[in-house]
């Protein structure tokens, strides 16, 4: 049960939806961790792929923060999403080493090819494009990460080939 106070200060209980219960479970599992806010936000994003709006009041109430404080933390860290990501999250390294070897041109090409800007998701929900500030692959720039895979020396042609491979639908014939 999610508890909140009405204007008279009395605690009221509201039945939780399955999503709210899953959020409450994540919060309850980590609420006693020192500096619990970030571990809780990471756990919720790992579970849902983003931080749902209904997480904010649950986190705020449990950790005794204001909703504004919780929202401020979510919006401060670029890692946290407030909308579901596409099937594939493509991160382009924006560090100086990658920019020195064509990273800016790759950024422009990726935005044009996918038809979205950073933090945008394609209409078919296949790709979300995000900036990242170092992938630790400086000797092989420009680099991108798709999911958990890092790709180095990515030029526009290689980017297009990766997107084509990820867009391909596998059909099993029996």
- The beta strand positions in the chain, using DSSP E, are 2-5, 11-14, 88-93, 120-121, 127-132, 144-146, 149-151
Nearest alpha carbon to residue 97 among 136, 52, 71: 136
Tokens 């020192």, residue located: 34
**Crossing angle between the packed helical segments 18-30 and 37-48, to the nearest 10 degrees:** 140
140 is in an annotated binding site: no
Distance CA 109, CA 53 (A): 33
98 is in an annotated binding site: yes
Distance CA 94, CA 85 (A): 20
Distance CA 61, CA 70 (A): 10
138 is in an annotated binding site: yes
Binding-site residues for [2Fe-2S] cluster sit at 93, 98, 134, 138
Binding-site residues sit at 93, 98, 134, 138
């Amino acid at each position: 049960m999610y508890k909140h106070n009405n204007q008279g200060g009395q605690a009221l209980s509201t039945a939780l939806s399955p999503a709210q219960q899953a959020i409450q479970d994540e919060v309850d599992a980590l609420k006693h961790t020192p500096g619990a806010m970030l571990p809780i936000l990471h756990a919720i994003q790992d579970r849902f792929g983003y931080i749902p709006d209904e997480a904010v009041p649950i986190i705020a109430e449990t950790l005794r923060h204001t909703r504004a404080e919780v929202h401020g933390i979510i919006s401060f860290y670029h890692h946290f999403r407030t909308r579901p990501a596409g099937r594939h999250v493509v991160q382009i390294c924006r560090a100086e080493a990658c920019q020195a070897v064509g990273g800016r041109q790759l950024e422009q090409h990726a935005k044009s090819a996918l038809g979205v800007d950073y933090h945008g998701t394609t209409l078919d929900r296949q790709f979300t494009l995000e900036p990242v500030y170092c992938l630790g692959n400086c000797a092989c720039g420009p680099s991108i990460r798709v999911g958990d895979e890092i790709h180095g020396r990515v030029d526009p042609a290689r980017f297009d080939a990766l997107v084509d491979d990820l867009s391909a639908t596998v059909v099993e014939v029996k």
